[in-house]
Amino acid sequence: MSFIVVDTEGKELLREIAILDHRGILLYEAFVQEHPDNVSARFRVQPLKEILQRFATLAQNQHVICHSAEHDQKVLRTSFRHVNLPWQNIKFECTWELSRQYLPNLPSYSLEYLSRYLTLRVNGRYFNPRAAHSARYDAEFTHQLYLKIMDAQTKQRLQNQPNPFSSRVDTPFQQHPDFQPIYQAEFSLLKSVITEIRHDRNHQSRGVVVVGEPGSGKTHLMMRLAQELLQINRLLFIRQPNNPDAVLYHTYARILESFVERVPTNGFTQLENLLAHSFVKIISTTQHLKLTQKDQHILSIVQTDPLNLYRQLGSEGTATRRDYWQHIEKRVSAWWMDQYGIAGVAPQIIQGIIKFCSYSEPRRKALVSRWLAAQPLELEESALIDLPNWDEEIGREDFSLEAISVFSRLSLLDEPLIIIFDQLEGLRYNEQLLRKFGFAITELFTHVPNSLIICNLFPDRWDHFQEFFSDNRAFIDRASQHQIRLNRPSIEQIRGVLKTKLASVDTDLDTIFTTSQLNEILDASSSIRVILNRAATYYRHVVNGDPIALPASPTPPMAALPTINLDEVNRSDTADFNQRLLKLEQSFSKITQVFDVIATALSSITIEQPPAITEITTSDSPASLSDNNTSPTSLDNSKALSNLDKSNQTIFSPNHGNGLQKQFSRQDLVREYLKEQQALLHTKYSQPQIITDNDDFGKLATIAQAFQEISDFELDQLRLGRKVLPEHLVIDRGHQKYAIGFLGVGGTAFTTRIGNYNELVLNHSNTQFYLFRDLRHGEISGKVGKQHIANLNNASNGRFEWMNQSNRVTFELIYQLISDIQNQEVEFSLKRALDVLTTDYSDYWLIKVLK
């Protein structure tokens, strides 16, 4: 909003006027020539009419800010009539009225009282009543008052909006503000490699290693790729694998999850986009194909947009739609067999892709997604989507590689795939997993064409990869055909990032942060993530009045205390009130410096906060493990301005010589992280996901290995000859053993595996067995399967558990916390995090077992 600040002096007719711009700079000051009180005035004296004409020009298209605006308007209107000038349509705003709104129940709302109450200063001086009732003087303090009010308005508005700095980019499919001047050259290089793949006659895949320090913006750069290219290319995001026996299957499952992500610009999934564009190429470019009437109709509707394949072939459940999609399946299958033959599982994968795209009902799409992930379904479920169950003995790793190859070969009719491996730092904790990962990447380069394969790594981790795989140059050479290093952006670029974030809540840096706060945030030695974390902390402090919560810094040596001359405080013979007040403030500042030094010296003494009490609803039965469903020299009046009741909370300013900084314990930082991430996981719960037993086993193993840092137990697995068991992990505490398994499959696979698991229960009476099934995998309908569940629950050492939303979110939260620590996504230690988990989540089944 563009505004000017105006103060007028005069009882009925204007005597003098001052006009400031929005920065507080004087635009115009004048004394009325005809007014009897201005006889002695020698400068800026003008006729009343000229003054009013100048005012009208400056006020055009502006908000006019006055204190007691009713009086100013009255004087101006009377003066306009006096010189026969027409009154302009001017919008006034009154700081007297605004102050009553934001500071209710004050004894006075005069400019003098408000200026003193809010400790306003102009040119370093407080309000002096002897200088008041000068138009310029009053306008300058009115400008300061209005800025204070606008600041309060902004804070009140921002309290109802999310913190623009607290959200982070976890996947490329998220939407976050993007300051594009950062890493623009690196982004252009990535796009140029995609272009090279597109124009390569052999469509060979290429590798790029993106190297950057923790928090440098690697995943954010991937998000920029998605935002710009997702309408054209298919982008597949694979987080760190966690199971050495299922690296390719993990990769494939995450690829499926990416394919069911919707493209924001058209609302269809990536898989639907891939098939539509590929099918149009099949029927429009295959030379020996004799087009039928159905082919010609399809071609007519997809000429303008291939996605009309889903819009204009009949409604869900109609015979017309079924006929067309059976025809599409026939055409694509014939094309595949003509190009690649009928060997392997590829023809079935093609069939599954078409089934997924033919359905619009979410449940059927979810079932086809599980089928594509080689998960056996209940008979009723497989019948619903008209797809036969997979052979239980199928090799998941070979299956996954062939399935990924199918998608890449379909992309030859569309655009190159972008396959991104991120959050890989945790691989250093498991050499077997790291070696399997290198083998998997090598296999992808060999069998998956037309793809850009990106690995995001820390510099030291990339060095470790090169050393570790010195005997596998195929992996290193193919993965690093191109290397991109993300160097730390300049301070001005990081300022641009902060400004871009704040623009999302319609505010700016100067409104939110003081110069000292911004200097603290923009620490030159910090990564982008650390800077954003600091900005989030200060933002909460400014907007909500929360204490500063920054990780404690190393304790510096005790510094010499500054000398304070108390005579300066007590001296009362200074003539000028402002001089006395400023001397008092300067002396108080020295006192705060003393406290700063003392606080710094004492910061090495860690006083733990009492553990937070987190309410987690659990079953009372011991056998059940699942969940049931500002300156200290003056009053901090910014709190009064935002009209918040924070009377029971002490707010400390940042430690820049302005006061004492309250150091949050690191447990508080962990709890803040857990609260934010838990909310995000609850939101994500209802989104399409590929949940696999292998992945859950890997997550459990990662969590358990982390807890071995603070708890004494061994990890193992059980065997039953060559029989297939549910994915499970044994936690051996010596005096007690726990077997925790996962079983998300359906049909005969479920019946067989739970039956074998029940044999283990009978054979190992000293072990407590638990078997989890995610609620989203659906009920077991077969009688035999239900009986096996009953048998497990009836065993004294067995329990079948449904993993509901609360249970799942907490399980994922614990895994994400540990994974983020391993990937250096957060600024606290593993031990500190585990301490919080064992305290705050002590009733959660997994913590009971591990602590």
Q: What is the pTM of this model?
A: 0.79
In whole angstroms, give the CA distance from residue 430 to residue 702: 10
pLDDT of residue 645: 34
pLDDT of residue 320: 92
pLDDT of residue 287: 65
DSSP string, 24-86: S-EEEEEEETT-GGGTT--SSEE-HHHHHHHHHHHHTTSEEEESSHHHHHHHHHHHHHHTT-P
Q: Where are the alpha helices (DSSP H) in 166-246?
A: 184-199, 218-229
User: Would you give the distance in Å from CA 567 to the centre of its chain?
Assistant: 54
**Residue 817's beta-bridge partner residues?**
none
pLDDT of residue 2: 86
User: Contact at 8 Å (CB) between 33 and 45?
Assistant: yes
In whole angstroms, give the CA distance from residue 510 to residue 539: 12
Question: Which residue in this structure is represented by tokens 């006075």?
Answer: 108
Instruction: Enumerate residues 6+ apart whose C-beta is below 8 A from 598.
Output: none
Does residue 238 sit in helix, strand or coil? strand
In whole angstroms, give the CA distance from residue 501 to residue 121: 31
User: Contact at 8 Å (CB) between 251 and 424?
Assistant: no
pLDDT of residue 652: 26
User: Contact at 8 Å (CB) between 129 and 51?
Assistant: no
**Residue 91's beta-bridge partner residues?**
63
User: Would you give the distance in Å from CA 330 to the centre of its chain?
Assistant: 43
pLDDT of residue 531: 92
- pLDDT, averaged per 10 consecutive residues of the chain (851 residues), comes to 91 94 95 84 86 95 94 95 93 95 92 94 90 90 94 87 89 94 96 96 96 93 96 95 94 97 95 96 79 90 93 88 94 93 94 96 94 94 94 88 97 96 88 93 95 95 92 88 94 94 90 89 84 91 79 42 38 46 56 52 42 33 40 36 33 32 66 92 92 95 94 95 95 94 94 96 96 94 95 96 96 95 88 94 96 87
In whole angstroms, give the CA distance from residue 833 to residue 127: 51
Ramachandran category for residue 360: left, alpha or beta (phi over 0 → left; psi -120 to 50 → alpha): alpha
In whole angstroms, give the CA distance from residue 248 to residue 373: 12
- Of 807, 627, 750, 775, residue with least CA distance to 689: 775
In whole angstroms, give the CA distance from residue 229 to residue 234: 8
- Of 557, 550, 630, 631, residue with least CA distance to 589: 631
pLDDT of residue 605: 44
B/e letters for 378-416, b = 16+ CB within 10 Å, e = fewer, are beebbebbebebbeeeeebbebbbbbbbbbbbbbebbbb
What's the order of all strands across the beta sheet hosting 727-732? Answer: 714-716, 727-732, 737-742, 767-774, 798-803
Contacts for 714-721 with beta carbons within 8 Å, 24 or more apart?
Answer: 718/760, 718/764, 720/756, 720/759, 720/760
- Of 372, 177, 168, 422, residue with least CA distance to 260: 372
In whole angstroms, give the CA distance from residue 511 to residue 153: 11
Residue 530 tokens, joined: 């650390």
Instruction: Enumerate residues 6+ apart whose C-beta is below 8 A from 529.
Output: 168, 214, 215, 216, 217, 825
Question: Which residue in this structure is represented by tokens 């030094």?
Answer: 597
